Amino acid sequence: MNIMDCNRAVIKTAGLIIIGNEILSGKIQDQNSFFLATELRALGVSLMRISVIPDDLDMISRETQAFSITHDFVFTTGGVGPTHDDVTMAGIAKGFGAHLVRHPLLARKFLERYGKAVNAAIMKMAEVPDGAEVIEFTTSNFPLVVFKNIYIFPGIPRYLREKFTLVRERFRTSDFYLKRIYLKANESDIAAILNSVVEKNDCVDFGSYPILDHPDYQIILTAESKLETDLDKALDELVGKLPKDILVRIE
């Protein structure tokens, strides 16, 4: 979607930073990016970029600062535990020239949870960039740290999903409207038609996806927009130009 030309729509953008050597080395398969991508789309937020980076202090500082400038919302996952490679908080603090401070609410939570077993490694997880917001939940979920427009999530998928569900309405904006067109044809057969419609409809985002080994159709075209009238106009134009014998259905 050409965001600059479509200012009639309310568009919020997001960037996602997946942090962890284990993702880059293939030791762990990332599940968080797919979950957040689908959730943000359902909330009307346009996820513009996903970056996967190692547990490196300087890289985290550069990436979070850059994402914060260019996106309305930034989400990080991973690197918030008690061990040597958990440097997300320190990296974010460095990127913005902030000090790491022990947040009293987090410190209290850890003391309540661990009691006499609390140690320096546990209390490391109470350190946040100075000025961070800590969102306390009424559920048993541990608080969520937010610094500026950066939401700092754990890397464990279950914990991320639980926390995101509790704050997801913070991000809701106007809906995306989506249509799917199922075709029995090859992409090369419809490329010229699709390209001509794309050129005339800046505020509609089109996609073309070949489907292998399906008996009924070979392509799914998608048309998506924040502007329902623009979507309807573009869809009518596209369907009007496509050969009728290749159109299977529209959803």
Residue where one domain finishes, among candidates 171, 194, 224: 171
Mean pLDDT of 39-48: 97
Give the domain extent around 206: 177-250
Q: Within this chain, do residues 130 and 183 fall inside the same structural domain, yes or no?
A: no
Total tally of structural domains belonging to the chain? 2
Q: Give the single-character DSSP code of 108.
A: H
Count of all residues that appear for the chain in the document:
251
Q: Within this chain, do residues 167 and 73 fall inside the same structural domain, yes or no?
A: yes
Q: Within this chain, do residues 73 and 95 fall inside the same structural domain, yes or no?
A: yes
Q: Give the single-character DSSP code of 175.
A: P
How does strand 150-153 pair with strand 177-183? unpaired
Is residue 107 pLDDT above 90, yes or no?
yes
Q: For the domain that residue 185 is a member of, what is the CATH number?
A: 3.30.70.2860
Residue where one domain finishes, among candidates 171, 200, 228: 171
Q: Within this chain, do residues 66 and 50 fall inside the same structural domain, yes or no?
A: yes
Q: Within this chain, do residues 8 and 126 fall inside the same structural domain, yes or no?
A: yes
Q: 0.85 exceeded by the pTM?
A: yes
Q: Within this chain, do residues 137 and 102 fall inside the same structural domain, yes or no?
A: yes
Token pair 């987090």 in the structure block, residue: 106
pLDDT reported for residue 5: 62
Nearest to 58 by CA among 88, 21, 83, 78: 88
Rg (CA), the chain: 22
Query: Can you tell me the distance from the alpha carbon of 99 to that of 93, in angstroms, rounded to the nearest whole number?
Result: 6
Chain center to CA of 216: 33
pLDDT, one tens digit per residue, over 203-248 is 999 999 999 999 999 999 999 999 999 999 999 999 999 999 999 9
Answer yes or no: are the C-beta atoms of 130 and 74 closer than 8 Å.
Answer: no
Residue where one domain finishes, among candidates 171, 199, 219: 171
Q: Within this chain, do residues 29 and 97 fall inside the same structural domain, yes or no?
A: yes
Q: Within this chain, do residues 143 and 222 fall inside the same structural domain, yes or no?
A: no
